[in-house]
Amino acid sequence: MRSRQRMFAAVMRLLLKCLRLGRRRRFKLVRQAEQLWHYGQLCLRSLLYNSFTNSDVVLDSLFEPIYWLVDHVTRWFGVVFVALVIGLTSSIVAIVYICLLPLILQTYTPAWICWHLAYGHWNLIMIVFHYYMAITTSPGHPPQAKDDLTGVSICRKCIAPKPARTHHCSICNRCVLKMDHHCPWLNNCVGHYNHRYFFSFCLFMTMGCIYCSISGWEMFRDAYAAIERMKLLEKERLQVAANQTYYQTPPPTFSFRQRAFHKSVVYLWVLCSSVALALGALTVWHATLITRGETSIERHINKKERQRLQKKGKVFRNPYTYGGWENWKLFLGVDMPRHWLTRVLLPSPHLPHGTGLSWDLPPCVTEQRAPLLAI
């Protein structure tokens, strides 16, 4: 009996010992897992930590694959977009000359005819000139001779000095002077030397679309009503033909020329109104940036810098702005009053102020400012 009790006690002691060892091993594994977890967090934070990280940086990181896709698609479809702009614009001009101009000459008074002919052709010339100059003019690139170039930073992709306001275009794969953005509708970057052409094209194209929308509103209403009447008469004609016993098709109510005329007027008004809304919003946005003396890229940079300095109780000042009016004069290249006519209201291929490599005080600006800072 005692031997059995001893054996039972020995077995119980062995079982308790095993349980204790199991607990120790379990605690040891849990401790090791916690250590690995904290070590992994430390490694991740050491690699990814950035004191400037915020929601914008996180969103940019998440959308990086989309940006890569857009860059490569834009690179290959730029020619298609340019052809689309030329094709749509040419179709509107053809409709105006073929369909609307004869009607204007027959129904309008001589004064209104002179107004439409003068304004319409002036607007068309300005659109064609500025679009051609925007797509054919190089935005400007830093020179290849790196020894003579004074840069405020180094481009991480070109591994070369980068002047102030210069940014690298991932689509063109080059640094662009005073880069604003890469425009697929131009198949070209918008930079120092063609920024004025780009904005002028947007402005005059918007003005032309608004002009066509307002001038063609009554024609659009009549054409739309005529198309609805065509559809109704076509339905009635088919019903009458189905109830007849003979096989002769009734003659059409409207001729092909009438149908083409009404549909062309509707197409012109819808396209011009849509472009006026979309391109008008873009034009207002760029006009706001020009008034502030900054580009689209600098707007995001300045916003972050303004928020950073605001937390420190400081005020951010854009070193490239001279005031709204002076910014517009500098952007348009207006050095004297007559330039508003010769350089703004008429086609002008004059170059912008400066070379895009340095940003000294222009002669047309009298306001003094603080020394330039790198953006």
Quickly tell me which residue has 């003068």 as its tokens: 118
Measure the CA angle with vertex 178, ends 176 and 184; round to 5°.
60
- Amino acid code (one letter) for 80: V
107's tokens: 């129904």
- Rounded to 5 degrees, φ, ψ at 115 are -60, -50
Question: Is 338 in contact with 332 (CB distance < 8 Å)?
Answer: no
- From the list 99, 175, 183, 209, the catalytic residue is 183
Per-residue CA distances from 255 to 108, 116, 200, 222 (Å): 25, 29, 42, 17
CA end-to-end distance (rounded Å), the chain: 93
**What stretch of H or E contains 269?**
helix 256-292
322's tokens: 């001279």
Active site residue 183: yes
Cβ count within 10 A of residue 309: 13
Residues labelled as active-site residues: 183
